[in-house]
Amino acid sequence: MAIRTTNISSLKKIKIETYLEVFETISELPKDIQELMNKAQQARENAYAPYSHFRVGAAIRLTSNQITIGSNQENAAYPSGLCAERVAIFHTGALYPNQEIKAIAISASSSSQVLDEPIGPCGACRQSMAEYEQKQKSPIAIYFMGETGKIVKVASVLDLLPLGFDAKYL
Q: Which residues bind ligand THU (CB under 6 A)?
A: 49, 52, 54, 56, 72, 74, 81, 83-85, 121-122, 125
Minimum CB distance to ligand THU smaller for 125 or for 157:
125
Number of C-beta neighbours around residue 35 at 10 A: 16
Instruction: Check if 85 is active-site.
Output: yes
Q: Please tell me which residue in 45, 85, 117, 133 is annotated as part of the active site.
A: 85
Q: How far is the CB of 122 from ligand THU (least distance, A)?
A: 4
CB of residue 155 to ligand THU, shortest distance in Å: 19
Which spans in 66-150 are helix H? 84-95, 123-136
Burial class (CB in 10 A: 0-12, 13-18, 19+), 96: middle
Question: Is the distance from CB of 96 to CB of 40 less than 8 angstroms?
Answer: no
Q: Which is nearer to ligand THU, 23 or 144 (CB)?
A: 144
CB of 15 to ligand THU, least distance (A): 27
Between 84-95 and 123-136, two packed helices, what is the crossing angle to 10 degrees?
20
Please identify every residue annotated as catalytic.
Answer: 85
